[in-house]
Amino acid sequence: DNLFGHKNCLIEVNPGKVLMPPRYEEIGDRIRSLEVRPDDVWVVSYPRTGSTWAQEMVWCLGNDLDFERAKMVQQFRTPLIELTAVLSHDEDDFTKALGDSVAMVAGMPSPRFIKSHLTWDLLPEQMTTVKPKVVYVARNPKDMCVSYYHYCQLVHRLTGDFEEFAELFLQDKAPIGPIWRHILSFWEKRDDPNVLFLKYEEMKKDLPSQVRRTAEFLGKKIDDDDVEKLVDYLSFDKMRKNPAVNLEVVMAQKYGEERMAQADAKFIRKGQVGDYKNYMSEEMIAKFDAWTEENLAGTGLSFE
C-alpha cells in the first residue's frame, strides 16, 4: 500500500480478495445490483489490455459505423461503469463534471455499450441470468505490466520504480488483481454464446479478421469496404489523434501537465507487442514466463 499515493481497499470476493481503487466501496454494491438488459453489450478487461481499442471497435460495429456520433467522448457513449471509484478522492471540477458513472449507465437508453475492468465476481449479479453480450479483452502479462506501470504512476500515484511494480504485479498485488483470476474467469466462459474472447496480439496481427469476428458475434453484417474504413479509423495513429478516445487531454485537465510528463502518461502510448523487452531484465522475463506457465497450465490459454 505504501507504494500508492492513496489507500486502496481489499474487497472480499468468493474465494479470495481483490485490491480495488479508493472509492470502490461507495459504488460496489450498486454495481452488483444493477439491472442488466439482454441487449447490453459489455466490454470487460483487466486494465491496459487494449480495451479502449476494442471498446471503440465494438461501439462502432454496434452503431453501424456512425463516425459522427463517435466524436462524442467515449465515457458518454460507452462508459466505464466504475469510473467514479477509480478517480481519487479529489472533489475537483473534472470529477464532478463526470458525475456518477453507475447512475449514468443505469439511465442510458438501450442498447447500452458498457465498459468495465471489474472481475467477473464484481460485475452485476444479473450478468449470470440475463446473459448480455460480453466481449473480453486479454493481453500478454509482460506488456500489460509495462503499460499498467505508466498508468498507475498517474492514476494510482504509484511512487515505486518499474522493478517494484513488476514484483507487486507478480505477487497479485496490483490494483484490480489478481490478474489470473480476472482473465481465467472469462476464459472459462469463452465458448458461451454470449461471450467473445479477444486477444490484443491477435488484433495487432490481423485487425480485419478480428473486426469480422466481432461483427458476427454482435449479429452485424459488414462488407469489405466498411471493414477497411473501420480498420483505418481504429489504427494506432488515428486513435492517438482522436480526442474522443485518447483521454490524454481530459487526463491533463485532471492531473496537470507536470504529473502527466513525470509519469510518461501517454494514454495511447506505444501500441506494440513486446515493449516489455525495453523494460524487463532477463531475470524478470524468466519470472514472468514461469508465473504465466504455472497459472495457465492445463487451461488451453496462451499468449504470443
Residue 234 is a binding residue for ligand A3P (CB under 6 A): yes
Out of 21, 28, 50, 132, which residue is the one contacting ligand A3P (CB under 6 A)? 50
Q: Which stretch binds ligand A3P (CB under 6 A): 45-53, 74-82, 153-161, 252-260?
A: 45-53
Length of the chain in residues, anyone? 304
Which grid coordinates belong to 87?
478517480
Q: Which of 9, 74, 87, 86 is nearest to 43 (CA)?
A: 74
Q: Which helix (H) or strand (E) segment is 163 a member of? A: helix 162-170
Query: Other CB atoms closer than 10 Å to residue 149's CB: what's the count?
Result: 24
Q: Which stretch binds ligand A3P (CB under 6 A): 51-59, 126-134, 208-216, 254-262?
A: 51-59
Distance CA 103, CA 67 (A): 26
CB of 198 to ligand A3P, least distance (A): 11
Catalytic annotation present for 89: no
Between 126 and 242, name the residue whose CB sits nearer to ligand A3P: 242
Residue 5 is a binding residue for ligand A3P (CB under 6 A): no
Residue 236 is a binding residue for ligand A3P (CB under 6 A): yes
SS3 category, 247: coil
Q: Which of 299, 244, 289 is nearest to 63 (CA)?
A: 244
The residue behind cell 515505486 is 160
Residue 177 is a binding residue for ligand A3P (CB under 6 A): no
Out of 31, 61, 70, 268, which residue is the one contacting ligand A3P (CB under 6 A)? 268
Task: Please give the backbone phi and psi of residue 56, each rounded to the nearest 5 degrees, phi first.
Answer: -70, -40
How is residue 270 annotated by DSSP? -
Q: Which of 240, 252, 237, 214 is nearest to 65 (CA)?
A: 214
Residue 275 is a binding residue for ligand A3P (CB under 6 A): yes
CB of 129 to ligand A3P, least distance (A): 28
CB of 230 to ligand A3P, least distance (A): 11
Residue 53 is a binding residue for ligand A3P (CB under 6 A): yes
9-12 and 17-20 beta bridge pairing:
antiparallel
Q: Which stretch binds ligand A3P (CB under 6 A): 184-192, 255-263, 269-277, 294-302?
A: 269-277
Binding mask 137-156 for ligand A3P (x = CB under 6 A): ------x---x---------
Which grid coordinates belong to 201?
496480439
Between 131 and 213, name the residue whose CB sits nearer to ligand A3P: 213
Tell me the Ramachandran region of residue 65: left when phi exceeds 0, alpha when psi lies from -120 to 50, beta otherwise.
left
Q: Annotated active-site positions, please?
A: 117
Sites of contact with ligand A3P (CB under 6 A): 45, 47-53, 143, 147, 234, 236, 239, 268-271, 275
